[in-house]
Amino acid sequence: MITNGCMLKSFKVTEEKGNPLPPQREKKPKTSPCVLRCGTAYGNLLAMDDISAEWMTSPVRDCGSDNDVSNDDDDEDDEEEEPIRKRSKWPDLPIPAPWYGETSKETGFHRSSRLCLNQIRECLLEHRWQEAAEYLISYFQTLEEISTPRQLLATEIIFRLGSEILHQHPNSKLEDVNHFFDLMKNTGVRGYLKISLEHSFHLLLTGNFDDAVRQLTTAESWRYGKQSAVQADKMKLIHAYRGFLSYLSWISKKGSSSEDDDGDVSAIQEMHTYFRQACISLQEILKLPGVWDPFVVGYVNMLEFYNDHEGALNVLKEYAYDSRFPPNPNAHVYLYRFLKRQGSTEKKQIRVLKILGALVPSHELMLELFSLLLESGTEQSLKEALDVLFNLLDDCSWKHSVAAWTCFRNMIKLLRRKKLKHLLEEGWETRKDWWPAFHFRTYHARADFQLSRQLLLMKVVVASTLVGNKCMYCRRKNELENEREARRMIKTHKKRKR
Amino acid sequence: MDEELIGFFREPCSQCSVVNWGVTEEGGYYCKSCHNVIERTVEVTDPSCVTGSRVSAISHGAKKPAKQKHGKDWMVCEGFQFILKQQAEALLAMGVRPELKDDILCNFWRGYLHKSQQAYTTKPLYSVTSQQESDSCPESLAASELSCLSKAETESDMDGARSTISGWSSDGGRLSSVCTEALDSSLYCSARERRMHHLMTMPMTLAFLHLSLLWLQEAITLADLLRFTAEGHIPYINAYQNFPEDMKLFGRDALIFRVESLPSYKMVQEEAHNLAIFLDLPRFPPLTSACLLHPSLLCLRYLMELNLPDELHVWVCWVMQQAGVGKDTFLTYDPWAEKSGLLNYDILASALIVVTLKLLFKLDDQQEWCLSNSADDENKQNQDSSIFCFRKWYKTVQGALVVAKEAEEQAMARKSWKSQKPVYPSMRNKSVVIKRRRVVEQLQAQFQKLTGSDPQPRQDSPSSFRLRWGEEDGGGPSYQGRRLGSAVKKRKGSARPSNPTYWHTALSSCKPRHCTDHFLEMEDSLPRSYVSVLGMVSFLLGVQETHVHAEVCLLERLLFKRPCQPRTKTSHGSRRKK
């Protein structure tokens, strides 16, 4: 299962450049719901909680009674003659949708659909695709739901369940999937673009790159009265992905043309066409606030290839510093890498990394920041470097990192040499009540020793400096060392005997 | 206008699967939504037409289907009559006596039509002629018609269906008749009118059936009737699908005939009682002990279904006698009797069984297990298992019930509610509704192909019994022939339970309508085995536990006519003595 990595951890993951994977595989941080996101991850389909969440959060406009056959309930196809008039009556506030759970007034039909959904959910969680598909046959009737909010919800649920089941069912073929997506597109015209996008993701997953491109091209030219205007946001995404796929084609062309150096003119021209296509769409999407990591990487990659370093720098700066965009650590990572590639001054690099450190103190690039700061060598920068280290080791994931503790040990040595040990006190002041329990317990020593002796030795230096020679960690270390020594003695003794 | 032609051609577009066809000047069809022109041209449906020109053929062919499509004008009560007829036929197919349909139900129905002024009357509730003439001579309208008209006018603003129809009819008189709702369906749409004239609803069809079955004293109780309905043996959900061709449902008819849930036991019972009063029915034929609806016979059936030993029946009859619920004066239904409602014979019978179990085994989470231990000992001594052991019975039945409940839930999850022939709420929505139906069918077909499953699930034949015992594919061993053993003691020549005491909840009856249901608040304090037995019984009947509990309380009140007793342990060795 592919997950749309949203954890802090994903910040550490570096992206491989020019890897023609479906873009939703790339990990990116979570964004606030008000901004667009480029990955409507196909992989999320399995997460059934999302469906429940959808139930809770989908905007409701009409909570009228279910038997109410109001006029504009089914007018999605007549949108041209019937403007979306009633909708304005209900403000688009983020009120939670009604939870269609069990109530005393529940009709038999709704009870059936609720039970059916539960059954499908169970089946999916236990990977019983056949049974899930059988239940889904019964669940299709919810498409004929009378009340609009429920109907829209049913479309969404059926689309998600159906595509997941078809994706996993042993008997399903590509034609089935295509047929299903086509049907779903025409059932919910309101979700046409979204379903098209998901369709192309599915095609990418199954390796049908050209079909995916075709799918997006069709979606790009889709017009349906007012519906296409309503889905303008989705349209932008479609354009962006279309551009991204052009970028991927560009990469494959680049790879093939670099192999034979003769430089086929037509191939270069084709490559340039892809470049222009990708540029136009990617430029557009990058103007909108959002998290566009794969797009930015692709765009910058192309610009660099054509030696437009100025343009690439501007794009990255815009992406990192524009306040309309949500805070995105990756933006700073890209900018830093770009600067490093370009060989710009250390000062600039440090500035970028400091911002990144403010966002994610435990980012793996912090070690680089540390060494950059050490190189400059002033007292101020030493103090900052120490802060960076302290912050880094506050995080659980760095607890057993030999590199980090080695840096700390070196730092202490350096401070001793420069007679600046008082700098340690400041960082230690806030941590002295919890770091001993967090890092320097007896069992930490044992665990560290099992992990690597190097780690133990590094940490002991730090512990004895910060906590004191007689701390638990140091005592335990001594015991462990003694044991080790004893064992070595016995071994050598035995050897000698032999 | 080529709407008629288009209505005639209903295949979905191959490009976008919408059914929204237009006809080009050349007579070819094109899809209005995606502008896809298809090969097919308008077919000349009238063989008598020999004109060569295609255009004239269109105009010629257009009239004929329009005339065919023109449904007959019909009233809502005709629709209900059709449904009742079908339901009665389904009952006859199950083996009910044929008098049900031709004599009893028919008479009830006629009486209803007469009383509600829908037919057999000189002053009909709704008359076609007066409606049409209403413009010219409004003063001749009866009061009820006036109210109905004004209602229709005020509603027309809000109700889209109505306004759409009038919009269509302004195009031409013929068009409006292509799709019309029943003539008087507007009457049915207001709750006030419905109440005032006691108009039909779908649950009332079941009330009619229940009254007729009760009059005939057939063995089908209300719980059975509802179960057969839920299982689809009696047409109820989407019963309108089978209407004759010329009765077309449209618009508001959907609100009257579409069913999205099954009525509850209580609801049908109340409807039936109200109906009996409305119809001014006389006292029903006396219910003697020979009738299948008599508690003693019903108890036999439920004992068998609950897998309890036959020997218990003697005790059940004894309890029935003591409580005085076996007499025909108590059992016979009289709509006009004081303090009368419809008796729930099935719940009464099962409550009798529960009371008997309480009498013999006490069901206080202790005594029944002690008795089970002694039954086990006896069985060990005799080297057989002829003595009824409560523990074994409990385990068997509870296990079978868990399986049955699960199966029921799964069946509910797979239940199909939507009609093959959808009703269009308005002309404008027609294409959307048809398209949606089509998509559902296509999706179902696709997934049926994928799973290789059978489109039509097999249907079991109707059966009075939900659980079967002692058979190979049944729920478990049968305890029917077991003896009660040490649960019953012989003393001075007469048998009496070895369990000395009986517990019951407060006997004081609550004020009706003020507080009705104490079961939920008490449930946690009641003994578990009692609650489980209630659960078994209520599952078999398809009612809630609280109904059975209420009936048990009623029986206990009749047994010990001592009001205002808090929950006590009453020793009643002397009371029970014959």
What residues pair up with B494 in beta bridges, in sequence order?
B491
B451/A133 touch (CB, cutoff 8 Å), yes or no: yes
For the record, the structure tokens of A190 come out as 């309101």
Residue B367 C-alpha, separation from nearest chain A C-alpha, in angstroms: 37
- Of chain B, the percentage scoring pLDDT greater than 90 comes to 21
List the one residue out of A224, A63, A146, A137 whose CA is nearest residue B433.
Answer: A146
Q: Which band of pLDDT confidence, cut at 50, 70 and 90, is reported for residue B35?
A: low
- Does residue A39 carry a pLDDT above 70? no
pLDDT, tens only, B547-571:
899 899 888 888 887 444 444 444 4
- What kind of architecture, by CATH, is found in domain B1-40? Single Sheet (2.20)
Sign of the C-alpha dihedral, residues A61, A67, A72, A73? positive
CA distances from B81 to B193, B202, B281 (A): 20, 11, 20
Q: In terms of DSSP H, where are the helices of A306-401?
A: 309-321, 329-342, 346-359, 366-376, 379-394
Q: Does B417 lie at the interface with A, CB-CB under 8 angstroms?
A: yes
Q: Give one DSSP letter per residue of B212-275, joined into a string.
A: HHHHHT-S--HHHHHHHHHHTSS--TTGGGGS-TT----TTHHHHH--SSPPPHHHHHHHHHHH
Name every residue whose Cβ is closer than 8 Å to that of residue B59 and which is 6 or more positions away in sequence. none
pLDDT, tens only, A76-115:
333 333 333 444 445 555 555 555 666 667 888 999 999 9
A437-446, B44-53, B467-476: which has the minimum mean pLDDT?
B44-53
For B262, the closest chain A residue by CA position comes to A108
pTM to 2 decimal places: 0.70
Name every residue whose Cβ is closer than 8 Å to that of residue B489 and which is 6 or more positions away in sequence. B495, B496, B497, B498
Q: Which of B160, B255, B413 sits opposite A67 (nearest CB)?
A: B255
Q: Which DSSP symbol is given to B18?
A: -
Q: Which of B20, B415, B432 sits opposite A112 (nearest CB)?
A: B415
pLDDT value at position A135? 93
Q: Which of B17, B444, B450 sits opposite A176 (nearest CB)?
A: B450
- Does residue B229 carry a pLDDT above 70? yes
pLDDT averaged over chain B?
76
pLDDT value at position B531? 93
- Compute, in degrees rounded to 10, the torsion defined by CA atoms B184, B185, B187, B191: 160
Amino acid at B18: V
pLDDT value at position A283? 86
Torsions phi, psi of B3, nearest 5? -60, -35
Q: Which of B409, B418, B439 sits opposite A183 (nearest CB)?
A: B439
List the one residue out of A485, A407, A475 whose CA is nearest residue A444.
Answer: A475
- Do the beta carbons of residue B200 and residue B319 sit within 8 Å? no
Q: Which residues of A touch B16 (CB under 8 A)?
A: 186
- Do the beta carbons of residue B537 and residue B350 sit within 8 Å? yes
SS3 for A111? Answer: helix
* CA A97 centroid distance within chain: 27
Run of H or E including A324: none
List the one residue out of A159, A140, A148, A143 whose CA is nearest residue A198.
Answer: A159
What does DSSP say about strands B28-31 and B37-41: parallel, antiparallel, or unpaired? Answer: antiparallel
Q: Which residues of A touch B422 (CB under 8 A)?
A: 144
CB neighbours (10 Å) of residue B73?
Answer: 13
pLDDT averaged over chain A?
78
pLDDT value at position A377? 76
Q: Which band of pLDDT confidence, cut at 50, 70 and 90, is reported for residue A259?
A: low
List the one residue out of B340, B344, B468 whose CA is nearest residue B396.
Answer: B468
- A421-443 burial, b at 16+ Cβ within 10 Å, e below that, comes to eebbeebeeeeeeebbeebbeee
CA separation for the pair A369, A346 (Å, rounded): 10
CA separation for the pair B242, B239 (Å, rounded): 6
Q: Does B260 lie at the interface with A, CB-CB under 8 angstroms?
A: yes
Q: Does A287 lie at the interface with B, CB-CB under 8 angstroms?
A: no
Q: Does A464 lie at the interface with B, CB-CB under 8 angstroms?
A: no
* Complex-level ipTM: 0.75
Q: Which band of pLDDT confidence, cut at 50, 70 and 90, is reported for residue B134?
A: very low
Name every residue whose Cβ is closer than 8 Å to that of residue A50 and which is 6 or more positions away in sequence. A44, A160
Q: Which band of pLDDT confidence, cut at 50, 70 and 90, is reported for residue B67?
A: very low
Q: Where are the domains of chain B?
A: 1-40, 73-121+180-281, 295-407+465-560
- Do the beta carbons of residue B209 and residue B269 sit within 8 Å? no
* CA B543 centroid distance within chain: 12
CA separation for the pair A163, A174 (Å, rounded): 11
